[in-house]
Amino acid sequence: AQRIAILGAMPEEIQLLESQMSKIKTKTVLGFQFKTGKLNGKKIVLTETGIGKVNAAVVTTLIIKEFHPKSVIFTGIAGGISESLRQGDIVIGNRLTYHDYGRLTNEGLSTNATRNPITKQLNPLYFSSDSLLVLQALNAAKEVRLQKMSAEASQPNISVGTIVTGDTFVTSSTAVGHFEKTLQASATEMEGAAVAQVCYQQHIPFLIIRSISDKANEKASVDFQTFKKIASDNSATLVKEILKQL
């Protein structure tokens, strides 16, 4: 059977999955370490991409070329855009787009679609996660037990939404309002749409899962440090549960 490829940008984002894998073997390609093994009975290959769109695109390309995965799942943390999201909540990204790609004028940036360099066709403005994987994630969401942010807090919420990607750590409530209004964004991060674009252009099903570490506002840098571990683990815990559904 083909492996499931699982990616995360930072060590914290893949640590829980790696610690629970069995039969781990490491294959190094162009300096990147790809860990193959089993998790919840499924054959996987797990890698840390590094932060940002370029690193995510490089590692997504390498993992497709080297391992021919059945699908690619990205796990990690994000800044929450939707008012209702709290730290530890999860967004199942059903659509991915860039917030920093397009035409820049005096009026600001108008986000445009990218172009597929292989077919020369315009890509969609939003890349869609595989619809079956989204359903399987929703089924996994009913089973999973996540960490609460505090003893008094209720169980974290899991919702489906649009994720916007750019090469910036967002710490601006003005930008948050803009992403929500112009792109209908639920959350923002720095890799998802790059993974999505590579997978789209190579016809590989993908799914982006993110847990909220901060609200991408003026407090984001402090919140990110406080909540990155617990949010990383919540996202990884859902991905582990998703593997059972595959």
Residues near ligand ADE, by CB under 6 A = 77-79, 169-170, 188-190, 213-214, 216, 220, 224
The smaller minimum CB distance to ligand ADE, of residues 78 and 242, is found at 78
C-alpha closest to that of 98 among 119, 113, 80, 108: 113
The rounded distance, in Å, linking the Cα atoms of 147 and 240 is 14
C-alpha closest to that of 145 among 41, 233, 220, 59: 233
CB of 224 to ligand ADE, least distance (A): 5
**Is beta strand 4-8 parallel, antiparallel or unpaired with respect to 127-128?**
unpaired
The smaller minimum CB distance to ligand ADE, of residues 4 and 91, is found at 91
Chain residue whose CB lies nearest ligand ADE: 79
Q: Catalytic: 214?
A: yes
The smaller minimum CB distance to ligand ADE, of residues 37 and 76, is found at 76
Cα distances (angstroms) measured from residue 82 to each of 179, 210, 234? 10, 13, 18
Q: Catalytic: 241?
A: no
CB of 208 to ligand ADE, least distance (A): 12
List 12, 13, 89, 241, catalytic entry: 13
The smaller minimum CB distance to ligand ADE, of residues 40 and 157, is found at 157
Contact 13, 75 (CB under 8 A): yes
Output DSSP code: residue 172. Answer: -
CB of 108 to ligand ADE, least distance (A): 19
Write the CB contacts of 190 (distance below 8 Å, at least 6 apart in sequence).
9, 51, 52, 53, 56, 165, 166, 167, 168, 169
The smaller minimum CB distance to ligand ADE, of residues 79 and 161, is found at 79
CB of 223 to ligand ADE, least distance (A): 8
Contact 115, 123 (CB under 8 A): yes
List 12, 18, 48, 214, catalytic entry: 214
Q: Which residue is listed with tokens 């940002």?
A: 52
CB of 216 to ligand ADE, least distance (A): 4
Contact 197, 57 (CB under 8 A): yes
What residues act catalytically?
13, 214
